[in-house]
């Protein structure tokens, strides 16, 4: 039986690279990748974090996850561009299309990374490296951005391999290479080990992945319960999960935003709820799913948070349906306190191709669906600002708000 060959393809600084390529294709002379630049929110609106940064920005200490304010404090000349999620959908889809020329088993893991199963094609380790190099070069030449490709016998080790030296590299991490390439690494660099788990491992004297791999499994179960078994298996490179091209395990889709001022009246709050509903509805339709649970989250200026949710009778991905329910939930729980953050979330997702409606509702549903699809098409092709509701004109509120906050079990994804 042939050894499994799994690729993990990870786009380098995806959002920044995709913005740079898009601008160069549309007449810009400056390549954002060659100067200190980043994709993030807005300083004037006092919201947002750094989502991606260029290598020159990285050298100046700019980090992903850092607030925009902190980033500009470190590098005042930093070129900051807002995120364009419709563009990222296009770039991600283009990558998937290219990869499917090599194998039908391509699983989108997040908007900027995916797995590909090449088992059964009769290629060995050396041949897999040659193939990965060719794919990497095609991505660079045809799509304009670079990727790292990790190669191994399972998804876990392939993903670990792709995290080695960047950018534009191919790395292998087969089981026989683990003692040299993976086990000396700090345990915090292992997949599924967060800060709290890392600190707890340090407390027990487990500093490297190799030490974790050699720790008694039963002892880890005492420390971490059932999660201890997962940690031991991952440290030993054990992973039996399949590459699933039809993966549909999104648990929910939601977006939130921090406001640039205290929201003290219902009319202003409605604008933010509508702008969030626009993004959530668009992403539901991109996924071709519908939601039956709508949730609204609020946070006041003292950082106290609370939320309400409701299960609606008929699943929907229509922007107006989400917005109307969000407004109703908002009125149920808002006590008039000044707000600094609002969020809209959808859960209980189902297939977007099927909806049970009465005969009288069908015509209305068809019209709303076609309108939403038309708006999505225009925004995807010409940018999010190509179509906006008149209510946002001169309002001071962005007509689409929120970033990417899907809830996959292990990773967020836009698609």
Do 375 and 258 reside in the same domain of the chain? yes
Q: Are residues 107 and 160 in the same domain?
A: yes
pLDDT for res 45: 52
Whether residues 57 and 25 fall in one domain: yes
Domain co-membership, 204 together with 259: no
More confident residue, 378 or 275: 275
Q: What is the pLDDT of residues 287-298, one digit of tens each?
A: 778 999 999 999
Query: Which candidate, 411, 410, 404, 307, places its Cα nearest to that of 89?
Result: 404
Better-predicted residue by pLDDT, 356 or 175:
175
Are 78 and 172 within one domain? Answer: yes
Q: Flag whether 414 is in a domain.
A: no
- The greatest distance separating any two alpha carbons of the chain, rounded to the nearest whole angstrom, comes to 67
Band of the pLDDT at 354, cuts 50, 70, 90? low
Residue 142 is a catalytic residue: no
Q: How far apart are CA 70 and CA 297, in angstroms?
A: 26
pLDDT score at 404: 46
167 and 197 fall within a common domain: no
Can you tell me the mean pLDDT for 248-265? Answer: 81
Same domain membership, residue 369 and residue 265: yes
- In this structure, are 115 and 197 located in the same domain? no
- Domain count across the chain: 3
pLDDT value, residue 250 = 66
Hey, what's the torsion of the CAs at 265, 267, 273, 277, to 10 degrees?
180
Structural domain boundaries, residue 208: 183-235
Identify the band that residue 216 occupies on the pLDDT scale cut at 50, 70 and 90: very high
Does some domain include residue 316? yes
Q: Is residue 403 part of a domain?
A: no
Distance of CA 315 to the CA centre of its chain: 24
The vertex-306 CA angle with 305 and 308, nearest 5°, equals 155
Q: What is the pLDDT of residues 95-128, one digit of tens each?
A: 999 999 999 999 988 888 999 999 987 788 789 9
**Within-domain flag for 73:** yes
- Do 85 and 148 lie in one domain? The reply is yes
- Cβ neighbours around 72 below 10 Å, total: 18
Q: Give a yes or no: residue 289 inside a domain.
A: yes
316 with 354, same domain?
Answer: yes
Give residue 120's pLDDT: 83
Q: Is 117 helix (H, G, I), strand (E, B) or coil?
A: strand
CATH no. for residue 312? 3.30.1490.100
What does each C-alpha distance from 32 to 43, 54, 129 come to in angstroms?
A: 19, 7, 30
Residue 310 CB contacts under 8 Å (≥ 6 apart), including other chains: 293, 294, 295, 325, 328, 329
Average pLDDT over residues 187-191: 91
129/175 Cα distance (integer angstroms) = 16
Which one from 113, 278, 287, 325 is the annotated catalytic residue? 113
Distances in Å between the Cα of 301 and the Cα atoms of 35, 39, 263, 270 are 36, 26, 9, 18
Mean pLDDT of 16-39: 93
For the cut 60, the answer to whether the pLDDT of residue 405 exceeds it is no
Of the listed ranges 48-62, 97-111, 161-175, 364-378, the least confidently predicted one is 364-378
Query: Considering only 36-45, 103-112, 340-349, 359-368, which range has the smallest mean pLDDT?
Result: 359-368
pLDDT classification of 271: cutoffs 50, 70, 90:
very high
Q: Beta partners for 345? A: 254, 295
In this prediction the pTM is: 0.65
**Domain presence at residue 130:** yes
In a domain, 20, yes or no: yes
CATH number of the domain that residue 221 is part of: 1.10.150.20
Q: What is the CATH number of the domain that holds 40?
A: 3.30.70.270
The reply to whether 52 and 106 lie within a common domain is yes
57: exposed, middle or buried (C-beta count within 10 Å: 0-12, 13-18, 19+)?
A: buried
Among 271, 18, 259, residue whose Cα is nearest residue 147? 18
Whole-number Å distance between alpha carbons of 285 and 150: 31
**Roughly how many angstroms between the first and final C-alpha of the chain, as a whole number?**
34
Phi, psi at residue 188, to the nearest 5°? Answer: -70, -15
**What is the rounded distance in angstroms from the CA atom of residue 333 to the CA atom of residue 300?**
12
* Residue 403 CA from chain centroid, whole number: 9
**Residue 407 covered by a domain:** no
14 and 48 assigned to the same domain: yes
């Amino acid at each position: 039986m042939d050894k499994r060959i799994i690729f993990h393809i990870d786009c380098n600084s995806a959002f920044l690279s995709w913005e740079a390529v898009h601008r160069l294709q549309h007449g810009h002379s400056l390549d954002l990748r060659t100067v200190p630049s980043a994709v993030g929110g807005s300083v004037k609106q006092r919201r947002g974090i750094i989502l991606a940064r260029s290598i020159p920005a990285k050298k100046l200490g700019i980090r992903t996850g850092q607030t925009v304010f902190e980033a500009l404090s470190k590098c005042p000349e930093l070129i900051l561009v807002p995120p364009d999620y419709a563009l990222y959908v296009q770039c991600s889809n283009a990558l998937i299309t290219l990869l499917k020329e090599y194998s039908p088993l391509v699983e989108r893991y997040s908007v900027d990374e995916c797995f590909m199963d090449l088992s059964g094609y009769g290629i060995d380790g050396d041949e897999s490296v040659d193939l990965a190099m060719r794919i990497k070069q095609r991505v660079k030449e045809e799509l304009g951005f670079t990727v790292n490709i990790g190669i191994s016998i399972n998804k876990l080790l392939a993903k670990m391999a792709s995290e080695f030296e960047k950018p534009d590299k191919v790395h292998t991490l087969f089981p026989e290479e683990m003692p040299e390439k993976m086990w000396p690494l700090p345990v915090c660099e292992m997949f599924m080990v967060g800060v709290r788990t890392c600190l707890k491992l340090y407390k027990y004297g487990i500093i490297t992945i190799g030490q974790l791999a050699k720790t008694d499994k039963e002892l880890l179960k005492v420390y971490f319960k059932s999660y201890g078994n997962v940690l031991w298996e991952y440290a030993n490179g054990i992973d039996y999960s399949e590459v699933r091209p039809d993966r549909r395990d999104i648990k929910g889709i939601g977006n939130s935003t921090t406001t640039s001022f205290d929201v003290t009246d219902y009319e202003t709050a409605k604008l933010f709820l509508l702008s969030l509903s626009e993004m959530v509805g668009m992403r539901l339709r991109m996924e071709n799913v519908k939601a039956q649970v709508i949730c609204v989250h609020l946070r006041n200026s003292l950082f106290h948070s609370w939320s309400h949710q409701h299960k609606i009778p008929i699943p929907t991905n229509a922007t107006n349906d989400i917005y109307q329910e969000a407004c109703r939930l908002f009125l149920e729980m808002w006590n008039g306190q000044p707000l600094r953050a609002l969020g809209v979330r959808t859960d209980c997702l189902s297939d977007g191709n099927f909806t049970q409606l009465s005969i009288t509702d069908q015509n209305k549903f068809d019209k709303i669906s076609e309108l939403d699809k038309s708006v999505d098409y225009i925004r995807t092709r010409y940018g999010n600002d190509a179509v906006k509701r008149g209510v946002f004109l001169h309002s001071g509120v962005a007509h689409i708000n929120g970033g990417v906050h899907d809830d996959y079990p292990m990773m967020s994804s836009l698609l």
